[in-house]
Structure 1
Amino acid sequence: MNGPEISLDAHHAPKGASDVVALGFVKALRFCADTFFAKRYGHRAVVLETVAAVPGMVGATLTHLKCLRRMEADRGWIRTLMDEAENERMHLMTFIEVARPTLFERFVVVAAQWVFYLFFFGLYLISPKTAHRVVGYFEEEAVISYTHYLQEIDEGRSVNAPAPKIALDYWNLPQGSTLRDVVEVVRADEAHHRDVNHGFANELAGLPTTAVAPCPAHVELQPNWKTAA
């Protein structure tokens, strides 16, 4: 495949106070997730993917309204963010098949979703740049979590069960694919979302933007960026 390739260890070094706040907030969320779920990665994915599906829809909605008010083009942002929200929702639907959430975890999902939705909506209204940076850092942590999940599978601490049918259909995985294959494509999705959101934040901050590697697992529209050196 021509063009840039997705890196699994990319990290955006904070530039300015808002980036430091965004990174600190995400690290605090990571601490809470590690404390609550420990190494129960399937259950962690169910709750966190519910939250992860929120930013794309919020960003798409508010960008749509802004473009209507200003009567300007969106440069592909709206569809890209809606694709992200849909992709994260499919992650959730997949991991529900892998790790059946308990009644308490379902309650946590509902509570976390509403709290995070209201928080992120307000943050996006105040500072879209910071909001996208939060998502970029959130996705960095997701890549790390799914890498740990793969290690758990490889070392036999998590069962490498057959991939759910919903995953086979969505990612066009071959018959006989396993949970490990699913985690790999989900991790690639998260790395892609990381790069897109850091790119959006860079553009809003007036920083150079670079081409974003297309996600290898499925087709997603890319934002209409001008690649800067």
Structure 2
Amino acid sequence: MSALKIVIKGSTLLCSNGAKSLGIASKQAVWNKFILSGQTSARCLATNVDVDKKVKDVKESKIPKETKMPEPDHLEHFKPGRVDDMPEPDSLQHFKKPKESSSSAIITKTPPPGVITLPHPIWEEQQVHEVKITHTPPETIIDKMAYYNVQMLRKVFDIFSGFSFGYRNERKWLNRISFLETVAGVPGMVAAMLRHMKSLRRLQRDFGWIHTLLEEAENERMHLLTVLELKQPSMLFKLSVIASQGVFVTWFSFCYMLSPRFCHRFVGYLEEEAVKTYSKCLEDIENGSLQHWQTQRAPDVALRYWKLKEDATMKDVILAIRADEAHHRVVNHTLASMKPTQFNPYKPGQ
């Protein structure tokens, strides 16, 4: 009420002064105008008084002190120092990691050899026993060059490896197979690389040859890895492989750029000799120095790669390898009879 009186007195004073200064306005009009302004000012002052009162009440009020939350039971248990039975972080719910789905899982362990491979034929027992020694007669000059090159290399290797004379024991067989497979794995990889580079260089497709050649190269390498389970190569053997690989890779690359037909025919005749070699190996398994291979368990890499039975023996491995070589023989003779621009008739794994 006091504030209202002050406002009214102030308004009256202003009204008197305003009435004197305004000659054209009546006292009543000026009075009404300042009465309205006085009411507005009174409301503002009343509002400010209420706000000040509330602020004062808040300041004078007693704010309760922060209430201490009770500690969880597990903290009371471990607080004295009993930490021997403290759980591992991985077992707590807020530390557990979400399980990865099979689609997003990443292989962190090194898989054993023979698990991750390209498609390749899996032979039935009847198929491995039906393999025969065959020969494709050379017809053109290129075919004859390829055939006589293979025959010459075979005779030279038989002499230097001691395979053409003396007793064929297990050591000779392992040395021969290991060395020949290091050579046999070269043509498919070199041919696939050159055709791949040619496809990139000419900006055109390869007509499906690359996958077949890569499958052949890996298949020969798996033969080598299988035999290495039975033999640890010496330093002299490793140096011989390095030297022969350097010479053969260079020579075969140069020949393939000049005549793919010659190279595939060369490999076809090379595989014919490989079938003969593994057929002789099977003869020694039956009646010769390798009879213990009839009962010797096959290496795990062979069981995984060819999907052999758990009780498979080394004889079963040699039968599967010979079937692979016979398959390469047919494939390379077929590719040698085709033009490089014709489509490969063999699908992946065939």
Superposition TM-score, scaled by structure 1 size: 0.85
Tell me, yes or no, if the aligned pair for 2:174 and 2:227 is still in contact at 8 Å.
yes
Of 131, 146, 151, which aligns to 1:22?
146
Of 44, 49, 62, which aligns to 2:194?
62
Cα distance change on mapping 1:7 and 1:181 into 2, 3 Å: closer
Aligned length: 212
Gaps of at least 5 residues in structure 2 are: 1-122
Cα distance change on mapping 1:84 and 1:151 into 2, 3 Å: same
1:157 alignment partner in structure 2: 289
Task: Confirm whether residue 128 of structure 1 aligns to residue 260 of structure 2.
Answer: yes
Task: Confirm whether residue 8 of structure 1 aligns to residue 8 of structure 2.
Answer: no
Of 232, 238, 244, which aligns to 1:100?
232
1:171 alignment partner in structure 2: 306
2:213 alignment partner in structure 1: 81
Task: Confirm whether residue 51 of structure 1 aligns to residue 183 of structure 2.
Answer: yes
2:173 alignment partner in structure 1: 41
Tell me, yes or no, if the aligned pair for 1:43 and 1:100 is still in contact at 8 Å.
no
Tell me, yes or no, if the aligned pair for 1:37 and 1:43 is still in contact at 8 Å.
no
Cα distance change on mapping 1:91 and 1:123 into 2, 3 Å: same
Gaps of at least 5 residues in structure 1 are: 215-219, 223-229
Tell me, yes or no, if the aligned pair for 2:177 and 2:227 is still in contact at 8 Å.
yes
Cα distance change on mapping 1:53 and 1:173 into 2, 3 Å: same
SS at match of 1:97: coil
Deviates more, 1:103-112 or 1:41-50: 103-112
Deviates more, 1:67-76 or 1:176-185: 67-76
Post-superposition offset of 1:84: 0.6
Tell me, yes or no, if the aligned pair for 1:60 and 1:82 is still in contact at 8 Å.
yes
CA displacement, residues 169-202 of structure 1 (integer Å, 9 cap, x when unaligned): 1111111111110000001111111111111110
Deviates more, 1:193-202 or 1:157-166: 157-166
Give me the whole-angstrom Cα distance separating, in 2, the residues matched to 1:205 and 1:110.
31
Q: Which has the higher contact order (CA 8 A, sep 6+)?
A: 1
1:148 alignment partner in structure 2: 280
Q: Percent identity?
A: 43
Give me the whole-angstrom Cα distance separating, in 1, the residues matched to 2:242 and 2:248.
10
Deviates more, 1:163-172 or 1:96-105: 96-105
Superposition TM-score, scaled by structure 2 size: 0.57
SS at match of 2:337: helix
Residue type at the aligned position of 1:165: D
Post-superposition offset of 1:37: 4.0
Mark the structure with the bigger radius of gyration. 2
Residue type at the aligned position of 2:154: R
Post-superposition offset of 1:151: 0.5
Tell me, yes or no, if the aligned pair for 1:199 and 1:210 is still in contact at 8 Å.
no
Runs (4 or more) in structure 1 with deviation over 3 Å come to: 209-212
SS at match of 2:229: helix
Give me the whole-angstrom Cα distance separating, in 1, the residues matched to 2:218 and 2:162.
25
